Copies of this chain bind each other. A is one copy, B any other.
Amino acid sequence: MPTYYKYTQLYNFARQVFKKIGCSDEHAEQAADVLISADLRGIDSHGMARLAGYVKQWEIKRLNPTPNIKVVHETPSTAVIDGDAGLGLVVAPTAMQIAIEKAQKVGTGWVAIKNSGHFGIAGYHAMMPLRYDMVGMTMTNASSLVTPTFSLDKLLGTNPIAVAVPTEKYPPFVADLATSAVAYGKMQILQRQGKEAPLGLVQNEQGQPSHNPHEPKIGGALLPLGSDRVHSSHKGYALGAIVDILSGVLPGANYGPWVPPFATAGNTSERTPPVGEGTGHFVGAMRIDAFRPAQDFKQSMDHWISTFKEAKAVEGKEVLIPGEPERNAHIERLITGIPVLPAVVESLEKLAQQFDLEWLENNKAQATSMQ
């Protein structure tokens, strides 16, 4: 059973932890904001559940809490950023801000980032340009868990792509998707529940279909979107490869199996020597009115959305707009609080002890009673 906390409690706790490891006020606030947005949007795997992981990165000296994030090369519409081994949670929004400024000047801005780390949910960064009537785009490579079609070697991460599009009356269109058949978090849930996975999500060490959600840890792998050749896993593989090339090869970060692991318990080994610097991202912003009056476009987007929402659906189901489930979770969790699983509560309590922070006992009772 999860315990419910108010998002402000969790935000403040994360902010204090980031300050304790040496982040500036500004960076700690930015990092906590990205983390809590994952929990608010229902993507529990990428929020407070990862806070201890970021601290672990700092402990093993793979995270610089006071990075000098700088532009190392640029043109009017592009830049490459060196994240100086800082938190991806801070480096990525910094890069997106530069992309937005370039888009304001020349229509679009595209920033490739090296020497960064895990940046939280891709959708957060993709949504930053929305307030400026811009389309936002974000991708990142990640440590390898996914096999290309017919491969036994894990060569790609779950390499997500996110695209956010502004609208007038409706909430924005926000697609945020791993290019694997499912995110690893889905397998972790099945692992904890002791359940089997449906076929088509993982393969075993011999590249054969498997029901075992533990496969990626015991020589098997996650499968690309499409699952198998008949259902076009080569397309999921190609999409994951595009993300790896733009995020990794383009800025000069690591790529393929060299992308450093996110330090969760027991998984800190890196493939050496590296082929680039840290983890890589790629972000972009496109000003709508660099193409068409923003008002016209946003009205068309409303019509696009209403057309899809009103589609005839399979009995008992409805057609959802990308971003709608996350938006609904956000609204609900602002009211009910954020459910945190016992293992995550435990990891946060440990952080409270480690950094001599007050834990949220009193508020826990209060937030729980709000349900």
Contacts and interface: CB of A to CB of B under 8 A. Distances in A.
Contact of A320 (B182, B234, B320): B234
A34 interface: no
A257 B319 CA distance: 15
Contacts of A313: 150-152, 207
Interface string A182-226: 100000000000000010110000110000000000000000011
A61 interface: no
A291 to B, nearest CB: 5
A232 B312 CA distance: 20
Interface stretch (A9-17, A46-54, A298-306): A298-306
Nearest to A163: B242
A323 to B, nearest CB: 9
Contact of A236 (B108, B147, B225, B230): B225
A236 B303 CA distance: 21
A236 B296 CA distance: 27
A251 B153 CA distance: 42
Contacts of A177: 232, 234-235, 238-239
A35 interface: no
7 contacts: A112-B291, A150-B319, A226-B226, A226-B231, A249-B304, A257-B307, A275-B300
